[in-house]
Structure 1
Amino acid sequence: MKQKATEAGPQLSWKEDKTRIKLPKEAKGQANYVIASCNGVVYKIQRGVEVEVPKAIAEILEHAEAAREEADAYAETVEQV
């Protein structure tokens, strides 16, 4: 049987598996929160406060930080040329 778009879908396991994270504070004048989303659910996460988020959101934030570090390293090599 097909589900109608208006009916609630099955519970997703990523909503149940949670972990605690604490994002570092940014410099003065920068946003004191980070916005991350997964499967249409948006989270506004305050920096400097330990919060509980789904493991999927924690993983997204880890990948974003790794990508930012890689981009910074590349920018440094380009500036040296």
Structure 2
Amino acid sequence: MNEPQIKKQFIAGAVCPACSAMDTIKMWTLDDTPHRECVACGFSDTLDAQGNSVPNELPTRVSRPAPSKPLSQGQTLQFFPNPKLNKPG
């Protein structure tokens, strides 16, 4: 209950990078990281120390969580030699 409330401020003259609407960007700082959000289209991102947009990490094979173990047990296969492939010695 005693948590400080985050003060979100509209930025006058700011243009949304996604929908190009003017005066719809609100900014706030959380843990010394500036965030911005467009109230018109819902676009949101974070900014670095220089004010550049920090892109969200794209899902790749490397960043995905490890797959869980298969639910079913595998079936054991047994291979037999093909008698037709025996070469006469």
With normalisation by structure 2, the TM-score equals 0.21
Q: Write 1 or 2 for the structure with the bigger share of helix.
A: 1
| TM-score for both structures, normalised by structure 1 | 0.22
Q: Greater relative contact order (Cα 8 A, min sep 6): structure 1 or 2?
A: 1
Q: Which structure is larger by alpha-carbon Rg, 1 or 2?
A: 2
